[in-house]
């Protein structure tokens, strides 16, 4: 039975990148240099006609976001291809859903982070760069098969200081935190309306914070290395704690 479950997870993980690699948005990101974008920093692309002050704003946020990661988890090593979309139309062409300020697109080939300048912030930038960092340290397949989505999102939202995520975990409640630990896949985590998804992020932040209380943030990279070497999630981060 366990072998069957692993096979299903592997097939599901494989299907997602195969579909993604066939999309026009993937082509736009993969050949961003031929789409009117220029490299403004190592691995960072922006529209050729983007004003200089806007380029500086984006690079300043990227630098600050990496500093936020370094201050919490340690120096980041991931250098994803980062694309700065100037507006909603460009963001949609690069694969961002409506009103989504940024996304890390993680595939077996590389990681691409698309950020929409129309909704730009250090919080969003740090959030997506954490996803890129986790993917870099685990590798695509280990992340897809071994890392629960609630934990991936919960760790990223630790550095996201937007208003909906500045919450009291006591108010979220133990029952809701236990429930979010069942949202191990993208399909489960992103199920429901916008309000439900925000509540999933809030609960995931609290669930991940509980793990990080027992396994301090500065040990995260070492713990991810153990996962990459073959350990199971519960063996590394411990089973679900008993909460009231």
CA 45 to chain centre: 19
Q: How far apart are alpha carbons 104 and 56 in whole angstroms?
A: 21
**Tell me, what's the pLDDT at 243?**
52
**Tell me, what's the pLDDT at 241?**
58
pLDDT (mean) for 115-125: 94
Asked whether the predicted pLDDT for residue 240 surpasses 90, the reply is: no
**Tell me, what's the pLDDT at 22?**
52
pLDDT (mean) for 80-88: 95
pLDDT (mean) for 75-85: 97
**Tell me, what's the pLDDT at 1?**
52
Q: How far apart are alpha carbons 189 and 175 in whole angstroms?
A: 16
Q: Strand order in 102-106's β-sheet?
A: 37-41, 44-47, 81-85, 111-116, 102-106
pLDDT (mean) for 233-243: 77
Which domains are seen in the chain, by residue range? Answer: 1-138 (3.40.30), 147-244 (no CATH)
**Tell me, what's the pLDDT at 23?**
84
Q: What string of H, E and C letters represents the secondary structure of the chain?
A: CHHHHHHHHHHHHHHHHHHHHCCHHHHHHHCHHHCCEEEEECCEEEECCCCHHHHHHHHHHHHHHHHHHHHHCCCCCCCCEEEEECCHHHHHHCCCCCCCCEEEEECCCCEEEEEEHHHCCHHHHHHHHHHHHHHHHHCHHHHHHHCCHHHHHHHHHHHCCCHHHCCCHHHHCHHHHHHHCCCCCHHHHCCCCHHHHHHHHHHHHHHHHHHHHHCCHHHHHHHHHHHHCCCCHHHHHCCCCCCC
**Tell me, what's the pLDDT at 97?**
87
Asked whether the predicted pLDDT for residue 18 surpasses 80, the reply is: no
**Tell me, what's the pLDDT at 99?**
81
The fraction of the chain above a pLDDT of 70, given in percent, is: 89
CA-closest candidate to residue 174, choices 227, 235, 243, 119: 243
**Tell me, what's the pLDDT at 98?**
82
Do 127 and 157 meet the contact criterion of CB atoms below 8 Å apart?
Answer: yes
Q: How far apart are alpha carbons 129 and 126 in whole angstroms?
A: 5
For the chain, give the mean pLDDT: 90
Is the whole model's pTM more than 0.85, yes or no? yes
- Give 140-189 pLDDT, tens digit per residue: 999 999 999 999 999 999 999 999 999 999 899 999 999 999 999 999 99
Asked whether the predicted pLDDT for residue 17 surpasses 90, the reply is: no
- Give 183-219 pLDDT, tens digit per residue: 999 999 999 898 999 999 999 999 999 999 999 999 9
The fraction of the chain above a pLDDT of 90, given in percent, is: 82
Q: How far apart are alpha carbons 234 and 146 in whole angstroms?
A: 10
More confident residue, 63 or 1: 63
Do 76 and 96 meet the contact criterion of CB atoms below 8 Å apart?
Answer: no
More confident residue, 21 or 144: 144
């Amino acid at each position: 039975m366990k072998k069957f479950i692993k096979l299903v997870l592997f097939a599901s993980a494989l299907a997602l990148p195969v579909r993604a690699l066939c999309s026009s948005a993937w082509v736009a990101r993969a050949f961003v240099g031929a789409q009117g974008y220029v490299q403004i920093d190592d691995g960072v692309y922006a529209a050729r006609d983007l004003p200089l002050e806007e380029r500086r704003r984006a690079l300043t946020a990227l630098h600050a976001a990496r500093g936020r990661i370094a201050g919490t988890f340690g120096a980041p090593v991931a250098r994803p291809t980062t694309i700065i979309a100037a507006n909603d139309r460009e963001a949609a062409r690069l694969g961002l859903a409506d009103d989504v300020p940024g996304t890390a697109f993680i595939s077996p080939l590389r990681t691409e982070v698309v950020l929409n300048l129309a909704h730009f912030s250090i919080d969003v930038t740090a959030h997506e760069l954490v996803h890129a960092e986790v993917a870099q340290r685990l590798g695509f397949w280990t992340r897809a098969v071994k890392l629960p989505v609630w934990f991936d999102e919960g760790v990223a939202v630790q550095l996201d200081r937007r208003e909906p995520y500045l919450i009291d975990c006591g108010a979220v409640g133990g029952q809701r935190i236990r429930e979010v630990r069942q949202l191990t896949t993208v399909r489960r985590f992103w199920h429901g309306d916008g309000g439900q998804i925000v509540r999933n992020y809030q609960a995931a932040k609290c669930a991940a914070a509980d793990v990080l209380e027992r396994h301090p943030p500065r040990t995260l990279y070492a713990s991810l290395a153990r996962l990459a070497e073959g350990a199971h999630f519960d063996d590394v981060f411990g089973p679900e704690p008993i909460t009231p």
